[in-house]
Structure 1
Amino acid sequence: MDQAYEQAAELIAGADALLVCAGAGIGVDSGLPDFRGTEGFWRAYPPYERLGLKFEEIADPVHFADDPELAWGFYGHRLHLYRSTVPHEGFEILRSWGARVFTSNVDGQFQRAGFTDVAEVHGSIHHVQCVEPCTDEIWECSFDVSVDPVSMRAVGPLPSCPSCGGLARPNILMFGDWGWVPHRSQAQLDSLTSWRRSVQNLVVIEIGAGTAVPTVRRQAELASASTGSLIRINVREPEVRHGRGVSLPVGALEALRTLARRTA
């Protein structure tokens, strides 16, 4: 492990640019659930175990049409959770290194930590759109959604579209989602692609990104393919294919604190 930390620290110290590719695991040290597997999801949200609903079933746009109180109960609870969560120290360490970010997370924790260049490939819970959608407009989520903690259903008025008056939904790419309005995320991704083409000696730090939804892993491996300058921080799935990178099988905060000391 000591040798791996040394290799990772050398990569960071010698990099001209850093790209962080982050999955749900980066938020665990802040107290956020990573929804790993059905059991992990049910531990975070016991009411859905009673209902027999898996994460991929509740995170489905169909519910906004069929049962909007159920749909907004889940996303309203998450919205409150993410607004009240303080990013852990590791975010500031990454920001101090001048890193850009690619993430599948929709929680806005990087922005809350002061990052301005974040590519959110699956959208953001802090932005909403029309369910239909009647327009491709996306607007900031400035409201609260009250949720009954027992039933996990939204109570009271639900967010509405300012254009048509119909139901609004989070601007998040859900499972089986044909109604997502992607242009906000696409602009972020286009900016990241342009930046990548402009930098040399890029080092990629992948954090908390598993293989179940491999979007982040694919990006990290693609961005580091020509050099093998990949640092993979992952407690459960730390393996690096074909030796193309450095593996750190620990949590995000522990790894980043150690790397910060070794690169100081």
Structure 2
Amino acid sequence: MRAGRTVITLMTRLEPYVPSLNRNHGNDRYTVGVLLHDAADGSRRYVELARGRSGNELTRARLLAVTGTRVWVETPATMLVDVESGRVTSAEEVERDPSLQPPERRFSMADLATGERGDAAVAGRRRSDGGQSVVRCPLAPRPRCQLQGRVPRPGRRGLRAIERRAGDVRRTARAGWHDETTGALAPVGGDEFYNGALVRTARDSALLELTGGGALLTYETKPRRAGVVFAARVAADGSLAWRTDLGIGKLLDVLPDPERPAFVGERPRIPDKVPEPILVVIDARTGRATTYSLWMKD
């Protein structure tokens, strides 16, 4: 999740234990906290929220919602953190004070794709309009399966995003206000993208417009998620101002921002090694990427 320039990441850590030949993993205990990362200057700080959580409780730990500088976290008890001061409000205080309750999330048509309904929440997608998961809308034509990206006003033309299978190659297309069918879309630019998608400002919202103009495009270098993820700034005519290798093999989240969009994911897999989780922040004007490891060391 993101609160202004602060990127918020849920962190869980296995607490120290005494090694034994017959170790019972059911006795493992974990610490839950949040890592607050400043996308502008790269500084970060860790805020511990709870200790002694069991593995079963850990499955319900999640970022729940964000409004302004406040982020709600389930540990699994709901706690509140102010990302500016680092102040933590306990689960007991949150439960007692109605003004500290997290905002309820509206139903979104995107829930039908993710399997979420009503107040159901899964890791990465919360009951909040302020927090966002991967807010992307796919590219390229496919009849009867159409997602609108930037909404063109009458007399204007803009980019439209079309849903398609994840492994198919995609292209950008231009749509007018009265173009109701996929066949009316005119392809723009000569590039094709695997799993290409334009980033929205939030779910069910307009496309993100980057500082200096243009939309933010993500795509993969190989089909079926066998390559790495790139980000690019695309103009309305389909041309790319820049494209940047994010160094991500598996994209987990996109955190929109006009100046410094951020991406959370894992590095490409190496056999017999755990993929490193990373945060990548892009300068929207130049495409320059800055990468931060999400592994924490004592």
Rg comparison, structure with higher value: 2
Question: Where is the helix percentage greater, Structure 1 or Structure 2?
Answer: 1
Of the two structures, which has the highest relative contact order with CA contacts closer than 8 Å and spacing of 6 or more?
1
The two structures have a TM-score, normalised by structure 1, of 0.29
